[in-house]
Amino acid sequence: MQDWRIKALKLEVSALDDLNGFVRDHALWFLLGIICLMVVLLAWVLGGGLRRRFPQPAGSVRPVIIINPQAPPPPEPDDWNPFPPPHYWRERDCDPDDWED
């Protein structure tokens, strides 16, 4: 292993030991600090902190995109009835002059 990697790992272990000692000695203050940071982060995110804000030049108009879909015409209505009315209804709807004798 290279010498700088060993130094980096020793520094990391030392920092984690110091953090462990701080949390052991001041657990309540550490927890309150983390909770306050989380509340501030949540308020920032919900307030739109992650949205990009680009300055709009004065007098600029946003482009409008209009899409005209080329849909096929609707199909013609089907006049086939799978359940036709009884024959006497058809006779009643016809003109009596057209009846066959």
Using the predicted structure, report yes or no on whether residue 47 has a pLDDT greater than 90: no
Q: Is residue 1 part of a domain?
A: yes
Give the lowest-confidence range in 11-20, 46-55, 69-78: 46-55
Mean per-residue pLDDT of the chain:
81
Q: Is residue 22 part of a domain?
A: yes
pLDDT value of position 45:
86
Residue 22 neighbours by CB under 8 Å, 6+ apart: 30
Chain position carrying tokens 């015409």: 73
The predicted-structure confidence for 55-83, as pLDDT tens digits, reads as follows 666 666 777 888 878 888 888 887 777 77
pLDDT value of position 9:
93
Q: Is residue 36 part of a domain?
A: yes
Q: Is residue 90 part of a domain?
A: no
For the chain, what is the domain count?
1
Q: Is residue 58 part of a domain?
A: no
Task: Give residue 34's domain range.
Answer: 1-50
Q: Is residue 3 part of a domain?
A: yes
Residue 82 one-letter amino acid: P
pLDDT higher for 55 or 34? 34
Q: Is residue 67 part of a domain?
A: no
- pTM, two decimal places: 0.40
CA 86, 88, 94, 99: dihedral to nearest 10 degrees? 130
Task: Using DSSP, state whether 53 is helix, strand or coil.
Answer: coil
